[in-house]
Amino acid sequence: MKISVLGSGYVGTTAAACLAELGHEVTAIDIDEEVVASLNAGEAPIHEPGLDELLTAHAGGNLTATIDYGVVPETDVTFMALATPSKPDGSIETSIIESAATSLGEAIAGKPSTHQVVVKSTVVPGTTENVIAPRIADAAGEDFEISMNPEFLREGSAVMDFQEPDKIVLGAETDRARETMRAVYEPLVARVATNVVETGIREAEMIKYANNAVLAAKISTMNEIGNICKEYGVDAYEVADAVGLDSRIGRAFLDSGVGWGGSCFPKDVTALITAAREVGYDPSLLDAVVEVNEKQPRRMLELLDEHTDVGDERVAVLGLAFKPGTDDVRESRAIPIIEGLRERGASVVGYDPVATGNMRKRFPDIEYAGSAGEALDGAAAAMVVTEWDEFAALDDEFDRMADPVVVDGRRIVSRRDGLVYEGLTW
């Protein structure tokens, strides 16, 4: 099939590359000329394992990129993978996808055949039908089909998640729309045993939010239990291992620590809370999920305070990305850690294998090291925030610290002898 993908962020770029790998002829459309040039050169504009290889394989062949919406009528299906960031009140900002919907409608106006539009952006129930579709219709009339296909891609493993999904959710209201989406994913379903869920558009929109809310709640629940475990001198990870053996629970997302961040969990849980209140429901459990997550970095700083005064001292922050495998620093737990250290008068030096450039945009006036050892050199303390594998292998590097106080927010550090070592929840 011929497919166009609007938006070349994490979701759009991964989807475009993986759809090309499935044999479809894909055109990525983005307003950023640098991103378009990068894609056409076979280079990923983001750090995502496996993505460069796919782009190198398909750029100029099954995958091309452009800023021109004029190519849309030449395709059978358009995926909308535009950002829906949070507004100050927690609701989603739809202006980007609304503008794209108008441009899309103008592009397909007069097309002799019915065009299929698939919303892949994360939007609250009712948005596809009440916000996006009317803007397409204003320019194109009613001769198009619209459906919803939420993504469940984890940054750091997005390519694998697309190619080996737990589920594919197809939200549509007509047989024609469902048949088209089945055809898009048929090469994948034929190769990989997965669950295909066919549902209505609003149900598909809600499944995405419910999915992330449950996962966020699971993490916050274990963090709360981990905090209690620490007070009793109990190993929270041994507890998690046993709890995870229950088939109703499972071991995934039970590692207690400094909390969740990134582009999905914070935005989606907050959006669901806001949307619930807009329809008159008080989501008190989700409020608590967020509250627990927000207090974890503060607890990490409080543990540091118990052992040393970092005023005018050098403190290393190891890990700046919100999770390993990505350079994304959105809602990274390193941000409140850095802010808290600066409030205490510390001289902060940060290190991350890939995310330094993005964090530098947020904190341009702190020091950044080229290695973990360099960051630890002369430091009075170290805060381990992201579970990069290389931090587990640190050994003699800790001997470069002035006072070996280490607060580990992820239980990743292997060497603990000779250190004043504090685990966040164990």
In this structure, are residues 398 and 406 in contact, taking their beta carbons and an 8 Å threshold? Answer: yes
Backbone angles phi, psi at 266, to 5 degrees: -60, -45
In this structure, are residues 120 and 302 in contact, taking their beta carbons and an 8 Å threshold? Answer: no
Binding site annotation covers 2? no
What whole-number distance in Å separates Cα of residue 413 and Cα of residue 56?
Answer: 36
Q: Which residues on neighbouring strands pair with residue 345, listed in sequence order?
A: none
Binding site annotation covers 267? yes
CA nearest to 106, candidates 77, 144, 79: 144
Binding site annotation covers 330? yes
The answer for residues whose C-beta is within 8 angstroms of residue 22's C-beta and 6 or more apart is 187, 188
What whole-number distance in Å separates Cα of residue 270 and Cα of residue 209?
Answer: 10
CA nearest to 107, candidates 140, 141, 75: 140
Binding site annotation covers 323? yes
Binding site annotation covers 111? no
Residue 421 is given by DSSP the state E
Binding site annotation covers 162? no
Binding site annotation covers 309? no
In this structure, are residues 301 and 362 in contact, taking their beta carbons and an 8 Å threshold? Answer: no
Binding site annotation covers 363? no
Count of beta carbons in the 10 Å neighbourhood of residue 250: 12
Binding site annotation covers 208? yes
Binding site annotation covers 257? yes
What whole-number distance in Å separates Cα of residue 94 and Cα of residue 38?
Answer: 26
What whole-number distance in Å separates Cα of residue 168 and Cα of residue 419?
Answer: 47
**Residue 18 falls in the annotated catalytic set:** no
Binding site annotation covers 84? yes
Beta strand pairing status for 314-318 and 167-171? Answer: unpaired
Count of beta carbons in the 10 Å neighbourhood of residue 73: 16
Residue 260 is given by DSSP the state -
Binding site annotation covers 155? yes
Is 279 exposed, middle or buried (CB count within 10 Å of its CB: 0-12, 13-18, 19+)? exposed
Binding site annotation covers 120? no
Binding site annotation covers 180? no
Q: Please report, as a single letter, which amino acid is at residue 47.
A: H
3-state secondary structure 72-85: HHHCCEEEECCCCC
Strand, helix or coil for residue 193: coil
Binding site annotation covers 280? no
Q: Which of 264, 275, 301, 407 is catalytic?
A: 264
Render 102-122 in DSSP notation, one character per residue: HHHHHHHTT-SSPEEEEE-S-
In this structure, are residues 225 and 239 in contact, taking their beta carbons and an 8 Å threshold? Answer: yes
Which amino acids are annotated as binding site, given as ranges?
30, 84, 122, 152-155, 208, 253-257, 261, 267, 323, 330
Which amino acids are annotated as binding site for NAD(+), given as ranges?
30, 84, 122, 155, 267, 330
Which amino acids are annotated as binding site for substrate, given as ranges?
152-155, 208, 253-257, 261, 323
Q: Catalytic positions, please?
A: 264
